[in-house]
Amino acid sequence: MSPEITKHNGKVHSAPLRSMPPPSSFTPVTPHLAISPTVSVVVPAMNEAENLPHVFATIPQWVDEIVLVDGNSVDDTVAVAKRLRPNVKVVTQKGKGKGDALAAGFAACTSDIIVMIDADGSTDGREIINFVGALVTGADFVKGSRYAAGGGSDDLTLNRRLGNKILTGIVNLMYKTQYTDLCYGYNAFWARHLDVLDLDCDGFEVETLMNVRAAKAGLKVQEVPSHERNRIHGESNLHVIRDGFRVLKTIFKEWRRQPTPPKPEPAAAPTADRGVA
């Protein structure tokens, strides 16, 4: 096995390359790409029966697990989800709000990678490959950005755009980050970092909480371009002024909180244990 050559403080160091997993552990993603980690997608939903067919149609078949968090819907949200994906894992939300729903969904995931998308049709599941690709090539936490080159939005009003810009600027100033989009709900991360994120909020401020805690813990955060679409059916529960103040409160509250140290990447198993010659 050839050593990996690295340079640190001007000195050359060598270390054995990690063992390659056996071919049977890889999942084909495209004709030219296969990945070894498993992937869970968390979809918080409340009364989204009309939108789920559009959302689930965009989620790639190679995704290992879909976790639907039902916010006590009064329509056929759960029945539609089970019809579309019979193996969907349904979690009934006990509390209220998007943050609470995501916490419940994350806790139910069994995969190496967790991706969160919305159930209203605004986030495109076909972009999941971009998030997973960034994680398997070195990132700890990947956040979608509507402002990165190649991203965009069909749904950003002037007030939402202005509020997001101001809040993003505050976070960048306080936490020395270089985020371009703070308040966006398309994110992915390695499941081993759940303790770092430790969701303990209820509402739409959850995306800000995750972004700030990832930065404070020293996780390698990467943005990928994402295009936000209009909600297909129904009305959003987002209230710009109310939720904007909740985000602002979260930003300053997190300044005083001690970050949770991230868990190191698991060591690769010895070659003999992984069936590789």
- Our measurement of the distance from residue 255's CA atom to the centroid of its chain's CA atoms, rounded to an integer in Å, reads 22
Is the pLDDT at 44 greater than 60? The verdict is yes
Q: pLDDT grade, residue 270 (50/70/90)?
A: very low
Q: pLDDT grade, residue 118 (50/70/90)?
A: very high
Q: Which residue has the higher pLDDT, 234 or 88?
A: 88
- H-helix or E-strand containing 16? strand 11-16
Q: pLDDT grade, residue 84 (50/70/90)?
A: very high
Q: Reduced to 3 states, what is the DSSP secondary structure of residue 90?
A: strand
CB 63 within 8 Å of CB 127:
no
Is the pLDDT at 62 greater than 70? The verdict is yes
Rounded CA separation 231/120 (Å)? 5
pTM score, whole prediction: 0.84
The mean per-residue pLDDT over the stretch 241-254 comes to 86
Domain spanning 28-256, CATH class: alpha beta
| pLDDT tens sequence across 165-192 | 999 999 999 999 999 999 898 999 999 9
Is the pLDDT at 215 greater than 90? The verdict is yes
Q: Which residue has the higher pLDDT, 167 or 29?
A: 167
The mean per-residue pLDDT over the stretch 201-205 comes to 87
